[in-house]
């Protein structure tokens, strides 16, 4: 199964894990079990949402991303800052200080992801006019959501927009620009580094989509860059005017930004993994108002809520509001000619194939027998979902037993009752 | 042939906020069994509509989903007021829901028509003052 080859960006440090049940209960896909005193992540179920990193008291869960030093192997280094980066700094009145700072810490060029986002927004407005697309169109920008749909909401796969996320478009355009400015550079001498608010983007870069490989070379954590930047960033001296994006591009950092950029109020925007799952359920039930576009962000408040950020998402959001204040709506437009079709570089063809995450057996009769056993076991268990057995709920333990991964003796309550 | 699987739910008529929970659970179960996505969607929409109807009109009831290898049977039973005129109730847009229910976004008069549309067969057994039992089949 393809899932076993999916390379994740959320890892566990066994030595730091105390085997408490905090992450167990918070994992939205029930991918975690506690065994031998520590957590185990089921890779086939993990969607890289980072909830476990967020809630772990012992810093035992961490994101596996690249480091700034990984860029040293490239002769020409390009930084792609996610717009959420701008919300991390206190008293910042101009994005240019951040862009200038990135050059100071060793990058040769900076290509704002917010610039690419404005182009993606412009093309999305075109995309929504395409005849025959299935409505509502679901944004493909959050990689957690795309993987969640592939694993759990296969009937909505055809609603996912086949537009590449701004990070990817930025990477392609940044390379193109580097080649134009420096024709002497060979492809492999150009390194593209995405400054990410979340581990899921790192997974996306490692794994791509079904038939798509990312043009980003290294993904580094926003918090690492933040600490490298604050000592090098100038605040007083005049910096060159560099920014090439407006309100729309920066708006992508927070929930609703992508949707409002469509200049059409027929949209739904939801953030936070539980809300996202709930909305997907409701779309499947045909129980949402008739909207054209759905923006779903796995993190609360949008990308500013990613686990690799430094600042509280709502504080970051407020800072972005003041940064956006005097900016033009957008700095990136499509000419009449460009509006005729969506170029290849913005699109991907195939989505990941449905991997039935919770399927009991490929044989329906066998699945039915297993589920009958699960129901029987579930009725024997105490139903208090204490987590002491290492499964997130009594139901999950019943499933684990039937799948042969646990036994009834794992239930501490039954044991105490002499069961 | 394996034994049919039965999922039983009590639909709470007092708690409007909990309406729709049974269909969400059924969806999860059917996914685990490997029922095709399109079929799951049909079953869960039909069931969701029925669940909402039971809460709005009948003060709750019971929902049983019986999974066989080649078909799924959904039985929704309540002890509500019954449906005086089935033909009228089956018309799209016909609804007896109160303004309060409509203000919540329900009561569009699409419940029964949707249940019929998304299932292969639907039978309504109803008696005024006694209750309603709706049996739906979806073939696999």
For B74-85, what is each residue's pLDDT tens digit? Answer: 999 999 999 988
The torsion angles phi and psi of A354, rounded to 5 degrees, stand at: -65, 120
Give me the residues of A, 355-384, that contact B with CB < 8 A: 356, 358-365, 367-369, 371-372, 375
Q: Who's near A122: CB < 8 A, 6+ residues apart?
A: A330, A332, A333, A334
**B128 and A CB contact within 8 Å:** no
For residue A320, give Cα distances in angstroms to A99, A216, A249, A363: 15, 25, 11, 52
Which chain A residues are closer than 8 Å to B40 by Cβ? 155
Which chain B residues are closer than 8 Å to A371 by Cβ? 5, 29, 32-33
Where residue B95 falls among pLDDT bands split at 50, 70, 90?
confident
Interface test with chain B among A153, A268, A358, A364, by most B beta carbons within 10 Å: A364
Mean residue pLDDT of chain A comes to 92
The torsion angles phi and psi of B41, rounded to 5 degrees, stand at: -60, -45
Which chain B residues are closer than 8 Å to A152 by Cβ? 31
The torsion angles phi and psi of A8, rounded to 5 degrees, stand at: -85, 165
Q: Which domains does chain B have, with CATH numbers?
A: 5-139 (3.30.565.10)
Tokens for A401, please give them: 């037993």
Q: Distance (Å, rounded) from C-alpha B81 to C-alpha B83? A: 7
Strand intervals (E) in chain B = 5-12, 60-67, 71-78, 121-127, 131-139
Tokens for A330, please give them: 């957008």
Q: Distance (Å, rounded) from C-alpha A219 to C-alpha A217? A: 7
**B75 and A CB contact within 8 Å:** no
Q: Do A155 and B20 touch (CB under 8 A)?
A: no
Which chain A residues are closer than 8 Å to B48 by Cβ? 285, 287
ipTM of this complex: 0.76
Instruction: List the beta bridge partners of residue B126.
Output: B132
Q: Distance (Å, rounded) from C-alpha A374 to C-alpha A396? A: 9
Q: Distance (Å, rounded) from C-alpha A301 to C-alpha A307? A: 12
Q: Distance (Å, rounded) from C-alpha B87 to C-alpha B90? A: 5
CA A143, A147, A150, A153 torsion-angle sign: negative
Where residue A352 falls among pLDDT bands split at 50, 70, 90?
confident
pTM above threshold 0.95: no
Q: Do A371 and B45 touch (CB under 8 A)?
A: no
Residue A417 has pLDDT above 50, yes or no: yes
Q: Are B135 and B123 in contact (CB under 8 A)?
A: yes
Q: Do A358 and B32 touch (CB under 8 A)?
A: yes
More confident residue, B1 or A90: A90
A156: closest chain B residue by CA: B37
Q: Distance (Å, rounded) from C-alpha A64 to C-alpha A70? A: 13
For residue A82, give Cα distances in angstroms to A226, B63, B93: 12, 48, 48
Residue A212 has pLDDT above 90, yes or no: no
The whole-number average pLDDT for the span A188-199 is 97
Model confidence pLDDT, tens digit, residues A353-378: 766 778 899 899 999 999 999 999 99
Model confidence pLDDT, tens digit, residues B4-40: 999 999 988 877 777 788 888 899 899 899 898 889 9
Interface test with chain B among A371, A374, A395, A402, by most B beta carbons within 10 Å: A371
Q: For residue A1, what pLDDT is reported? A: 36
Q: For residue A2, what pLDDT is reported? A: 42
Lowest mean pLDDT among A69-73, A123-127, A286-290: A286-290
Q: Which domains does chain A have, with CATH numbers?
A: 1-64 (3.30.70.20), 68-346 (no CATH), 361-419 (1.10.15.40)
**A284 and B CB contact within 8 Å:** yes
Q: Who's near A340: CB < 8 A, 6+ residues apart?
A: none
CB count, 10 Å around CB of A242? 16
């Amino acid at each position: 199964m393809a899932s076993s080859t999916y390379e994740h960006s959320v890892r566990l440090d066994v030595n730091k894990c105390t085997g408490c049940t905090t992450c167990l209960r918070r994992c939205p896909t029930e991918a975690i079990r506690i065994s031998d005193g520590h957590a185990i992540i089921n890779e086939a179920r993990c969607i890289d949402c980072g909830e476990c990193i967020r809630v772990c008291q012992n810093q035992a869960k961490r994101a596996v991303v690249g480091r700034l030093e990984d860029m040293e192997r490239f002769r020409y280094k390009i930084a792609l800052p996610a717009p959420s980066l701008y919300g991390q700094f206190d008293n910042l009145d101009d994005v240019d200080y951040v862009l200038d700072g990135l050059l100071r810490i060793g990058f040769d060029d900076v290509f704002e992801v917010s610039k690419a986002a404005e182009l993606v927004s412009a093309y999305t407005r075109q995309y929504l006019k395409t005849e025959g697309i299935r409505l509502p169109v679901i944004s493909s920008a959050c990689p957690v959501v795309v993987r969640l749909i592939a694993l759990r909401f296969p009937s909505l796969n055809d609603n996912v927009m086949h537009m590449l996320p701004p990070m990817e478009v930025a990477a392609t355009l940044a390379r193109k620009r580097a080649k134009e400015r420096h024709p002497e550079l060979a492809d492999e001498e150009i390194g593209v580094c995405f400054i990410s608010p979340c581990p899921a983007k790192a997974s996306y870069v490692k794994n791509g989509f079904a038939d798509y490989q990312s043009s980003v070379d290294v993904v580094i954590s926003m918090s690492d860059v933040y600490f490298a930047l604050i000592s090098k960033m100038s605040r007083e001296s005049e910096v060159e005017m560099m920014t090439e994006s407006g309100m729309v591009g920066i708006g992508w950092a927070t929930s609703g930004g992508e949707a409002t950029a469509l200049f059409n109020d027929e949209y739904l925007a939801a953030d936070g993994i539980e809300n996202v799952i709930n909305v997907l359920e409701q779309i499947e039930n045909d129980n949402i108002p008739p909207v054209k576009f759905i923006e779903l962000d796995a993190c609360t408040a949008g990308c500013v809520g990613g686990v690799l950020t430094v600042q509280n998402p709502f504080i970051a959001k407020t800072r972005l509001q003041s940064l956006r204040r005097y900016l033009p709506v957008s700095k990136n437009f499509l000419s009449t000619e460009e509006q005729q079709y969506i170029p290849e570089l913005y699109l991907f063809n195939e989505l990941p194939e449905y991997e039935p995450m919770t399927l009991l057996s490929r044989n329906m009769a066998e699945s039915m027998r297993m589920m009958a056993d699960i129901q029987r076991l579930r009725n024997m268990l105490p139903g208090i979902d204490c987590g002491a057995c290492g499964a997130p709920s009594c139901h999950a333990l019943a499933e684990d037993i039937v799948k042969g991964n646990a036994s009834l003796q794992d239930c501490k309550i039954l044991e105490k009752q002499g069961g | 042939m394996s034994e049919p699987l039965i999922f039983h739910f009590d639909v709470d008529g007092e708690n409007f906020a909990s309406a729709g929970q049974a269909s969400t659970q059924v969806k999860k179960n059917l996914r685990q069994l490997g029922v095709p996505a399109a079929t799951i969607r049909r079953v869960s929409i039909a069931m969701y509509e029925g669940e909402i109807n039971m809460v709005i009109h009948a003060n709750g009831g019971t929902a049983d989903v019986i999974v066989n290898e080649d078909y799924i049977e959904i039985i929704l039973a309540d002890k509500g007021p019954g449906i005086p005129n089935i033909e009228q109730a089956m018309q799209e847009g016909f609804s007896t829901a109160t303004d309060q229910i409509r203000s919540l976004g329900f009561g569009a008069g699409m419940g029964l028509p949707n249940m019929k549309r998304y299932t292969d067969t639907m039978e309504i057994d109803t008696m005024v003052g006694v209750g309603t039992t709706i049996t739906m089949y979806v073939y696999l």
